[in-house]
Homo-oligomer: A and B are copies of this chain.
C-alpha cells in the first residue's frame, strides 16, 4: 500500500528543486528582450505537478543511488525537460490551437502577455532547453550530453510530442465531422503527445548519471523505457477520467471540454470504471518492467500510482 501523503510530499519536494533551478536560471539570463524572458519565466514557474521531473529524478536515484553530483545533473536535465513541457503548454493554449484562456488557474501566457509574446516565449523555451542540455550543468561527458539532446529532441519532434498535438487537432476536426478517432487512433496520438516526453524524462534521468567511461546501464535504460511507455498513456486515460469527475477549480482549467467538442475520450471507449481499470492495468504493465530492482524501484512505481490516483 502506497503512503500517499509521503509520496505527494516527495513529488512536491522534487518539484521544488526544479522550480528553484529554473528560477535561478531565468534570473541569470541576460537578454535585452526582457519581456520575452518574463513570459518564459511565467510559463515555466506557473505551478504544475512536475510529474516528468519526479520521474527523471527518481530514475536518476535508481541509476546512481547516493551519487549527489549525478542527482544535481539530473535536476538540470529535468529543468530542460520542463522548459519543453512549458513551451508545449503555451502553444497548446493559443487561440489557433486549444484556445484556452487559463492554465493551472492562472491566465494562459497569451492572455497574461499577448499572442506574439506567447509564441516567441514557447519558441525560446525550446531553444533554451537545448542550451541547458548541452551545458556542463547536465552532464560531465560529451557523449552523455549528446544522448540527452537526442532523447529530448526525438521526444519533442514530429514522431513525438509535436506530431501528437497535430494528431490531436486532427481528432478534433474528425469529431466535428462525425468521424471521431477510435480507441486505437487515440492511443497512437496520446503515445506521441504525452507518452514521448514521459519516456524521455524517465530515460534522461538515468542517462544523466553516466560518464564517458561508465554510461548508464543499457539494460536499465531499456527497462525504464518499457516502464514509462504505458505510463504516458495511463496519464492520459486518468486525465479523461478526471475530465468527467473533477471540478474545474481543482483542475485549474476548464473541464468537460472534450465532451463538448464531441471528441471521443477513453471514458467513452471503456466507460468510467473501464477507463479506471485500463489506467491501472497500464501502470501494472509498466511497473512489472522495473520490478527486478525490488525496493529501489518503489519510488518510480509510486509515482506511477500517483499518476492515475491523483485528483488534479
Contact of A33 with B120 at beta-carbon distance under 8 Å, contacts A142-B143, A150-B134, A153-B128 already known? no
A166 within 8 A of B: yes
In the complex, are the beta carbons of B146 and A32 less than 8 A apart? no
| Chain B neighbourhood of A114, CB < 8 A | 96
Provide the bound-state CA to CA distance between A169 and B116, in Å: 8
In the complex, are the beta carbons of A33 and B142 less than 8 A apart? no
0/1 string, A135-174, CB within 8 A of B gives 1: 1000001110110011011101111111111110110000
What's the minimum C-beta distance from A262 to chain B, rounded to whole angstroms? 18
* CB-based nearest B residue for A129: B153
A292 within 8 A of B: no
Contact for A142 among B127, B142, B159, B164, CB less than 8 A: B142
Chain A interface SS verdict (over half): helix
0/1 string, A91-123, CB within 8 A of B gives 1: 100101100000000000000001111011011
Contact of A162 with B127 at beta-carbon distance under 8 Å, contacts A97-B119, A134-B149, A167-B32 already known? yes
A29 within 8 A of B: yes
In the complex, are the beta carbons of B157 and A128 less than 8 A apart? yes
A9 within 8 A of B: no
A interface residues, tally (CB under 8 Å): 58
Provide the bound-state CA to CA distance between A122 and B163, in Å: 12
What's the minimum C-beta distance from A84 to chain B, rounded to whole angstroms? 8
A40 within 8 A of B: yes
A131 within 8 A of B: yes
A35 within 8 A of B: yes
| Chain B neighbourhood of A123, CB < 8 A | 87-88, 91, 122-123, 126, 156, 162
A130 within 8 A of B: yes
Provide the bound-state CA to CA distance between A223 and B159, in Å: 39
A37 within 8 A of B: yes
A177 within 8 A of B: no
In the complex, are the beta carbons of B37 and A158 less than 8 A apart? yes
* CB-based nearest B residue for A164: B33
Contact for A96 among B116, B152, B158, CB less than 8 A: B116
0/1 string, A167-189, CB within 8 A of B gives 1: 10110000000000000000010
**CB under 8 Å from chain B, chain A span 5-57:** 29-33, 35-37, 40
Provide the bound-state CA to CA distance between A153 and B138, in Å: 15
Contact of A124 with B158 at beta-carbon distance under 8 Å, contacts A32-B163, A91-B119, A130-B149 already known? yes
The 6 closest A-B pairs by CB, nearest first: A33-B163, A127-B157, A96-B115, A130-B153, A124-B162, A142-B142
- Apart from A31-B157, A32-B163, A87-B123, list 17 A-B contacts with CB within 8 A: A29-B158, A30-B159, A36-B158, A40-B158, A91-B119, A91-B123, A96-B116, A96-B119, A97-B119, A120-B169, A122-B123, A123-B162, A124-B163, A128-B157, A130-B150, A130-B153, A135-B150
